[in-house]
Amino acid sequence: MNESSPMLVRRAVRSALALVCAFVVLAVAAPAALAAGTFTGGPIANDMPLYVANDHTVTAMRFAASPSADPSTLQPNTEYYVKVRFSPSPTPQGSNNRGFIWNAASGQWVQERDEWANFPTVTTDADGKITQSPWFFVKFADVTKSGAYYVLVSLSTGASGSTLNGSDAPAVTVLDMRGDLTGAPVRGFWVHNGTATGQSGGKRADAVAGGLGTVWALQRTEPNLCDDDANGAVDDEDYGPTGAAGDFRLAVPVDAGFDVRLQSDVWPSAATSFTGGTADVDIAYGTDDQTAPTAPGVLSAEEGAGQVSLQWTPATDDGGSDLSGYVVYRWADPTPIGGATAYTSAPVAIATTDQTSYVDATGTIGTRYSYCVRAVDAATNYGPRSNEVTATPKSESVVMLIPVKAVVGWLGTAALDWSIKDIGGDPIVDAVGHLERSVDKGVTWRTVTDVSGDPYAAGTVVATNDLTRRTWYRLRYDGSGLYAAGMSKNVQIVPRVCLGRPSAPKAVRHGAKFLSSGTMKPRHAGGAWTVRIKCYKRVSGSWKLKKTVHARNVSKPTYTQYRATFALPSAGKWKLVAYHPSDAQHAATTSSARYVTVR
């Protein structure tokens, strides 16, 4: 070595110190580039309510913002995306956050975990301030949660590391609108205008504590350029009497007095503070009838081909305006956003009916839906929702059953071809059918056997090999996760009777009487004249029917004998054939022939 060991050590130390310094610089710089910054401000006190519903009820709000001491704070004349979230603490809490905001430009509700580019925007002024933002519409949208939350406004240019959280995050109480959560949450209900308000759209509507105190609920009257009911159509909401102009709907707590104001004036002018004692109802505020109907009785759903059939038992109404009908709501399971499902789906009204049943044929085949029903009276009070049911509209199944032979001999085989296919004619793979049999014209059925084709649902099945009476068959398919249940048409297989050929001497004189008899099964009533003996004569090389004789039944222990005494009128070759006409249980039957020479 040309250098001493101490010098090598010093160089190694200097190199190590340089690396350490470099890492320290990176460690200090990286968080400053990636961590969220802050701005001064947040929701404006009088433009943010104290209560929000835990479902998809919409709340209006505004915020203010100005630069803070943070070096990455708001910049002048800059467009920012706006995110409003409900957090369990004054700072973001990841998957525990909740909330949607309405983006009027795209006409979409945006969940707080979505990409920044999907959110609405706001632009700062020349000083980097937002003195008073436009009105934004937000909702909590998770019926499994309620209680204490904070409203946090976050802004971002969309660039990595540019998120700014407001310094002010006021506390709100999230109402349990259904009133069935545990842990003593604050329950809520709704009020909407029961009469025309006389207002135009986009006006302030709020509920304030009795005595005109704190703002409890806040919204803008219809039309407000927002899809409040999440049905995909903007401003089609019609909460009160027909005509949506000036309508409003507010979520308020149960068991507490409040007043409603429009444009900061109490509405209606003669109203006194109102207190509701029931959760999950929607009261027509300002009407004589402010009593909601009861919940409908048990709701049930039946899955079908391309549809779901719903049934429920009636609700009742004691408010004086009488029940006017039912509203049917439907929603699909939520889709994960940003790796989590931090919301529950919005129930969307799909039908109004005055019946206690409804067939939904508008869903997507294969999609699992939930349903509930509310009763509404003539004053537009809505009662509590029914129980919820889930069902899936299925693809149609085509079930076929065809007998190999529709008529078989006595103790014959009932063989049937079967198939279970989709509407396009392709077999439903691994489908299982249940072959059923009836002997009373389809009044009662019993399962004979299960049939399946591996893997294709088609084949031939032998139902029985000893048929003695008319029998009906059908094939039942119970359906699957994708295909609806199906049933084949009823088919019949009819056996002939067991009919022995008639006896006769080999030769007789013409005009001379003789006895002809034979057997038949099943047993027939004694003394009846069931069988006919048909007498054919050979004429010019073919058999011609010349005479028909009715035979009388004689009962025997295990069979019935038919008997007849008669004469053949002319000489020649004759053929005797027994004939049993069709009856309720058997097909027409002809016996084999007995040949007689008449001299």
What is the 3-class SS of 203-246, one letter each residue? CEEEEEECCCCCEEEEEECCCCCCCCCCCCCCCCCCCCCCCCCC
The burial class, CB within 10 Å (0-12 / 13-18 / 19+), for 142 is buried
Residue 18 has pLDDT above 50, yes or no: no
* Whole-number pLDDT of residue 203: 97
Cα-Cα-Cα-Cα dihedral sign, residues 472, 478, 482, 484:
positive
Q: Map residue 545 onto helix, strand or coil.
A: strand
The burial class, CB within 10 Å (0-12 / 13-18 / 19+), for 143 is buried
Close Cβ partners of 553 (under 8 Å, ≥ 6 residues apart): 524, 525, 526, 527, 528, 529, 530, 531, 560, 561, 562
- Kindly state the helix (H) or strand (E) to which residue 286 belongs, with its residue range: none
* Whole-number pLDDT of residue 437: 96
Residue 2 has pLDDT above 70, yes or no: no
Task: Round to whole Å and give the CA distance between 313 and 355.
Answer: 10
Task: Round to whole Å and give the CA distance between 456 and 96.
Answer: 48
* Whole-number pLDDT of residue 519: 98
Task: Round to whole Å and give the CA distance between 176 and 252.
Answer: 10
Q: 419: how many CB neighbours lie within 10 A of its CB? A: 22
CB 101 within 8 A of CB 84: yes
Task: Round to whole Å and give the CA distance between 268 and 191.
Answer: 13
Kindly indicate the confidence band of residue 31, based on its pLDDT and cuts at 50, 70 and 90.
Answer: very low
Q: What is the DSSP string of 422-483?
A: ETTS-B-TT-EEEEEEESSTTSS-EEEEEEE-SSSSEEEEEEEEEE-S-EEEEEEE---SSB
The distance of Cα 48 from the centroid of its chain, to the nearest Å, equals 37
Residue 17 has pLDDT above 60, yes or no: no
% residues pLDDT > 70 (the chain): 94
pLDDT tens sequence across 97-129? 999 999 999 999 999 999 999 999 999 999 999
Task: Round to whole Å and give the CA distance between 86 and 196.
Answer: 33
- Kindly state the helix (H) or strand (E) to which residue 284 belongs, with its residue range: strand 282-285
pLDDT tens sequence across 422-445? 999 999 999 999 999 999 999 999
Residue type for position 43: P
% residues pLDDT > 90 (the chain): 87
Mean local confidence (pLDDT), 224-238 = 96
Cis peptide before 88 (omega within 30 of 0): no
CB 587 within 8 A of CB 496: yes
* Whole-number pLDDT of residue 411: 96
Task: Round to whole Å and give the CA distance between 258 and 248.
Answer: 16
Task: Round to whole Å and give the CA distance between 175 and 145.
Answer: 9
For residue 5, report the phi and psi dihedrals to the nearest 5 degrees.
-60, -40
Residue 455 has pLDDT above 50, yes or no: yes
Cis peptide before 522 (omega within 30 of 0): yes
